A and B are shown apart, each in its own frame.
Chain A
C-alpha cells in the first residue's frame, strides 16, 4: 500500500478544567493523501479545532502518532520543526485575527519567503506580486495594511501566505465560514483550483455539512472528541450512520421546497 501524505493514529489530548480533565480529542485516527480534501465536521466542542492545533504542533498531544511526508512529525523540535512547517500550513477562520494588526499585506507575504529562504530580498517583491496574482488579487494591494482590505481579500492574502512555502497540506480551520456567500463560493473555487494545479491536500474543518459535501472528498465526523464516522463525503452526508451525523444533516438549513423544483 502506498504511504499516505498524512497518517494520524490514536491522537489524544486532555485539557484541565478545574480539578478534572476533559478529553478534547481521543483515539483520533485518519489519513489524507496528496491532493485530497478530508473534512473534519462536528458540533462546537467536538474537537475539530483541537485536532487542527495538534497537527500544526501549536499544542502537544498526550498520546498518538502523526506521520507526515514519511517523517515522525511529533518528534520534530526546534529548528527542524520550523523548517518542516513550510510543508504544513494553515488558514484561520477570522482573517483579521490571523494577522498582526500592524502588518501590511507585503509583510505578511514576505515573512514565509524570508524565513524559509525561498527568495533573496531583492527578488521577494516580485514573488509577493506573483503570490497576489495567484490568489486573484491586485498587486497594488501589497502596500496596504491588512486591516484596510475587505474580508474576502484578507482571506485571499491568508491563502497566499499559506501557499508561499509550497506546502503539501493546508489546514483550513473554518476558513470560509465567516465570509459572505458570494465571496465564499469564489474562495472555495480558488482553493479547488490550487489543489488541481499544485496537488495540495486540505484538512477542511467546518460545521457546515453543505460546504463539506461540495468541497471535500472524504469526511470524518467528530463528536465529543471522538470520531463518530468517516467515509466518502457524499456517501456519509447523504446517509449518515452516527447519531451526530444524522443530527447535523437534520439541522442544516435547506432551501429546497421554496425553489423552482417545488411542485406547487
Chain B
C-alpha cells in the first residue's frame, strides 16, 4: 500500500511536507531550547541578516525561526487533536443515530442540523470567548464545529451496513445492540469517515490560526495565527513578520490536503483491485 500511496507526485509532495512539519515540531525543543517567547536579540531584525537569527526577530526581539518551529507544534497538535475528537464524536453519534433509527435518529440528526446551521468558526469563537482561551478549549471549540460532517457520513454508511447479513447474524447470536453498533458496524463504516480527516485537519489548523489571530489562542504558546496578528501592526515596515507564518500555514494546509487525497486515492485503488 505504501508503494502505491507514494506513486502520485501530489501524494509524495504532501507527505514530504508533513514529514518536514512533523520533524520541525518534534525537533523544536532540541534546536530551540527554552521559551520561544523570550527575547533573543534586537527588535525587528530583517531575515537573512544575522545567521544566528536566520529569519530575523519580531517587534519584541523574539527569534522568528524559533517561533515558527514551536508554532508548528501548536498547529499540528491542534489540527490532529481536533480532527481526532470530531471524528470520534461524529462517528459515535452517526453510528448511534443510524443504528438506533426512529426517534433517537431523528433527535440526533436534528441536533446535527442545529450545529451545522451555525457557521463553524462563529461557534468556535463563541465557545472560546465564553470558556476562555487554552489549548484544550481551542481543540474542543474546533471539534464542536467539525463533528457534523463525520456524523452524517457515518450515519449514511451505518444505514446501509445495518441491513447486511452479518448484522442479522450478530443479532441471531444474541449480541447486545450496543456491541453490534460499535464492534460490528462502526469499524466497517469508518473508511469513508476517515477520508474526511485531511479536510478536517486542514480546517482545524486554519480555525486555530484564525482564533489566535483574533487573540483567542492559548496565550502561553506560540501560534502561527498569533504571529500573523503580531506582525500586522508593523505590516508596512516589516511585512516578513506576517508573510513567513502565513506561508507556513498555506504550505501546511496544502501538505495535509495533498497527503489526504493520496491516501484516499490509494485506498480506492486497493479496494478496486481486491
Contacts and interface: CB of A to CB of B under 8 A. Distances in A.
Do A and B form a real pair? yes
B188 A112 contact: no
Contact of B165 (A82, A97, A161): A97
Contacts of A58: 168, 171-172
A95 to B, nearest CB: 9
A92 to B, nearest CB: 5
Interface residues of B, number: 15
B188 A101 contact: yes
A98 B169 CA distance: 6
Nearest to A92: B165
Nearest to A158: B169
A83 interface: yes
Nearest to A83: B174
Interface residues on A, range: 20 to 34
B172 A97 contact: no
Interface string A141-179: 000000000000000000001000100000000000000
B184 interface: yes
A16 interface: no
Interface in B135-157: none
A99 B169 contact: yes
A58 B164 CA distance: 12
A195 B254 CA distance: 64
Contacts of B175: 82, 111, 115
Contacts of A83: 174
B138 to A, nearest CB: 35
Contacts of B168: 53, 56, 58, 90, 92
B188 A82 contact: no
A58 B171 CA distance: 8
B158 to A, nearest CB: 14
Given A101-B188, A102-B187, A85 B166 contact: no
Given A97-B164, A101-B188, A102-B188, A86 B169 contact: no
Contacts of A98: 165-166, 169
A248 to B, nearest CB: 25
Contact of A99 (B166, B174, B187): B166
Contacts of B169: 90, 92, 98-99, 161
Interface string B168-196: 11111111100000001001100000000
A127 B172 CA distance: 20
A82 B177 CA distance: 10
A17 B170 CA distance: 27
Interface in A51-95: 53, 56-58, 82-83, 85-86, 88-90, 92, 94
A94 B164 CA distance: 11
Interface in A121-152: none
Given A98-B166, A99-B166, A99-B169, A82 B184 contact: no
A4 interface: no
A196 to B, nearest CB: 24
A85 B168 CA distance: 12
17 contacts: A56-B171, A58-B168, A82-B176, A85-B171, A85-B172, A85-B174, A98-B169, A100-B166, A100-B188, A101-B166, A111-B170, A112-B174, A115-B173, A115-B174, A115-B176, A116-B174, A161-B173
Interface of B: 164-166, 168-176, 184, 187-188
Given A82-B174, A92-B165, A100-B166, 14 more contacts: A58-B168, A82-B175, A86-B174, A92-B168, A92-B169, A94-B165, A97-B164, A98-B166, A100-B170, A100-B188, A101-B188, A102-B188, A112-B173, A116-B174
Counting from the closest, the 3 A-B pairs by CB-CB distance are A85-B174, A82-B174, A97-B165
